[in-house]
Chains A and B, each alone.
Chain A
Amino acid sequence: MSVQPKLGLDPEAVRRARELARTAGGPIVQLAKRHTTVSVERATLRLAGLAGADPDGTPWVNRLVDAVRGDVDIAHGVALPVWDALLRAEAADLTELATKAGVGSVRFRIPEGDDAKQAEAAATEAIGAGIARIDARRAERERLIETVGDAPRTPWIYLIVATGDIYEDIPQAQAAAREGADVIAVIRSTGQSLLDFVPEGATREGFAGTYATQENFRLMRAALDETSKELGRYIRLTNYASGLCMPEIAALAGLERLDMMLNDSMYGILFRDINPVRTFVDQRFSRQVHARAGIIINTGEDNYLTTADAIEAAHTVTVSQLLNEYFAKEAGLEDWQLGLGHAFEINPDVPDSFRMELAHALLARELFPDAPLKWMPPTRHMTGDVFRGYLLDGFFNLVGALTGQGILLVGMMTEAVVTPWLSDRDLALQNVRYVMNAVGDLHEDFQPAPDGFVARRAADVLGESIDLLERIIAHDDGMLDAIADGTFGLMRRPADGGRGLDGVVRKADDYRNPAVDLLEDGLR
């Protein structure tokens, strides 16, 4: 649904805001290009088909990258040392090589001259096969949407399942789809973002969520393919490319045809205390994979409003959306792939709270007219009063209907009380359907007064966003300093602190990674 501009935003201010985001983000892209990480290297091996884990559950990609790192560092990339070892017949395939590397019976070296050329050619072929598989999965999705049918309308209705057990998640996800969900998100186990490896296999135990693994992805996608055919509409599957293994999870999502991924440029830094450089390097690679795979990313701006006041911090959402847009486009994502996040989190006791929500949502809509936008329900002001919560969710749905949101995460009246019951989900979907049906195309009739409350509020937030971006750029070292001194939210995250820093390596001049080359080529 496209919405006619209503706010009369100053085009010069909009242009200025985008330009500032580019100025702030540019040096971060350069920083990302100068470094690699253990997870980028492991993702490269995953693209080449290395899967599985040793008997202790340590994935073979971790074993192999650690062994290469021990012998020759990863500053040159793991591709050449690994395929050089294969060409030297140290092992028949990657798994055998990883097994031997794990017990120290292989020595790696940086090949030179013709050896280097041959290793690079072999690596490019193997990794290229993985990229070709991602391309094929994307084509398969497009074909399925063509033959099975697509979601009948926007916003797409987004529902969450999270039992911890993939075999429980599957029937719940299928039931949710039958009840009307267009998108199923499987919440990850608490703490997975801080694991520096991707667990292996089908998993049946998680903490408040289910582990993201390649096998879990495959099982759920296959189940939803069946349900899609049954319902005559393609059900999209969502997971999380975040945390220390973001690049690997992005690669697995592409290989297993996931459709949307939570993927934010700064969430891990601010909310998980992951090292900023690690995050930005991993981010860029994962976004390139998502771009290639035709995956829609969902950014995490709602998180800003769960930790800060939704009125005072409204502009931090806009700034983050602008930065996420810049980083996404630089990595090759197109507008239709940008599920930029925002949320309905203003304290309902504040006078005019609904007008402000409407202003903020319209601002996002008009700043990013071609992005789907991910509209997140109230959580912070949901209490045990389920009746009041149901009304609040109705108003949330009304803003969604009126402002052309692309993806609507269904709010539950039992938020903060229980994980949703069957009846909670049913009532929540009734709420969404009633509002969408009752409102219809009201947006055609809805025209906020020029210079009225809504238009002025939107202009103010845009103005504050420009001020904040200017303050970020005024730092000596731009965004990195701004992140370090707590300019974003309440968290101070210095560039030399946080988790995963030991997995960041500055690239040597002769760094080679065919995955990076193939993904960059895709951008040209």
Chain B
Amino acid sequence: MTATEQERRLVRPYGDTTGDGMVQLSFTLPIPHDRVAEGAAAQLAKKMGIDPAMVVHAKPMGPDFTFFVVYGQVNHLVDVDAVQVVERDFPLLSPKEVNLAIREGLRRRLTVVGGCIGTDAHTVGIDAILNIKGFAGEKGLEYYRELRVINLGAQISVPQLVASAKEHAADAILVSQVVTQRDAHLLNTKEMSAAFREAYSDAERPLLIVGGPRFDETMAAELGVDRVFARGTTPGEVASYLVHALVTQRRQAT
């Protein structure tokens, strides 16, 4: 490695010798297994920057597909300094860490009231986040011992949601909106946030969170909510955010 490479932190993959650039990969091509197929695999590897490429394993999977394992030397360099990482503005916590943070920071359970407002009957989003069954291999918020979850289900009116929030002394409100016809999700959310601002003082108001597949995460201010979650959000992200907003940040503020 030259001095400049060291300064710029340029690296290559490591097999068993510094700078050997060795990588392994596996993939499937939709062609029958024969010599041509193995050549095709080597060609793909070469186009990926692996040269020389060794097709070390090729196995037919049925008459129409072949599976390959390829080893070889990749001719790319990685500039570590040029790597850009998008930082989440809150740390991702495990369920244990969430529970611990609430127990220590709040000294009581944190209450979440959730539901689908308006005529939206699609509970798939709210259930994925709240039901213990969860989503994407993560358990829902019901799984967290220190979270008290009240799932109101579908077709909840905004006044019902506010009443339920008051009844249960909610720390956070979770609203899911799947139906987006005529921007119903945006209008419903604005109506909801306005109602909460009217019913509560700023200091008392629960955290307002809205989510759904067609929301843009940058719209929170416009919609009057504290946070917007978009497609693919997992329960662990929501739980981590709850801790960040209601435990960590509040403690820092006082």
Contact = CB atoms under 8 A, between A and B. Distances in A.
Contacts of B131: 271-273
B22 interface: no
A422 interface: yes
Nearest to A380: B137
Interface string B132-146: 110101010011010
Chain A contact residues: helix, strand, loop or mixed? helix
Most buried by A among B28, B122, B145: B28
Interface of chain B, main secondary structure: mixed
Nearest to B27: A423
B123 A272 contact: no
Contacts of A179: 61-62
Contacts of B67: 423, 426-427
B98 interface: no
Interface string B100-130: 0000000000000000000000111001100
Interface of B: 26-28, 59, 61-62, 65, 67, 122-124, 127-128, 131-133, 135, 137, 139, 142-143, 145, 151, 153
A404 B124 CA distance: 38
A191 B123 contact: yes
A499 interface: yes
Interface in A234-284: 270-273
Contacts of A271: 131-133
B62 A423 contact: no
Given A307-B139, A421-B28, A499-B153, A490 B132 contact: yes
Contacts of B127: 190-191, 194
A423 B124 contact: no
Nearest to A192: B124
A167 interface: no
Contacts of B123: 191, 194
A207 B125 CA distance: 10
14 contacts: A190-B128, A191-B123, A191-B124, A194-B123, A272-B131, A273-B151, A307-B139, A379-B137, A421-B28, A423-B26, A426-B59, A426-B61, A426-B67, A490-B143
Interface in A409-463: 415-416, 421-423, 426-427
Interface string A453-484: 00000000000000000000000000000000
Contacts of A490: 132, 142-143, 145
Nearest to A207: B124
Contacts of A379: 137
B99 to A, nearest CB: 11
Contacts of B153: 499
A422 B143 CA distance: 33
Interface in A380-420: 415-416
Interface string A173-207: 00100110000000000110010000000000001
Closest CB pairs A-B (n = 6): A191-B124, A426-B61, A416-B137, A423-B67, A423-B28, A271-B133
A190 B135 CA distance: 9
A347 to B, nearest CB: 13
Given A307-B143, A490-B132, A490-B145, A178 B62 contact: yes
A190 B28 CA distance: 29
Contacts of B122: 191
Given A273-B151, A426-B59, A490-B145, 4 more contacts: A272-B131, A307-B132, A379-B137, A491-B142
Contacts of A422: 28, 61, 65
A207 B131 CA distance: 16
A491 B59 CA distance: 47
A194 B137 CA distance: 19
A272 B133 contact: yes
A179 B63 CA distance: 11
Interface string A287-318: 00000000000000001001100000000000
A379 B127 CA distance: 21
A427 B59 CA distance: 10
A190 B137 contact: no
B157 to A, nearest CB: 18
Contacts of B62: 175, 178-179
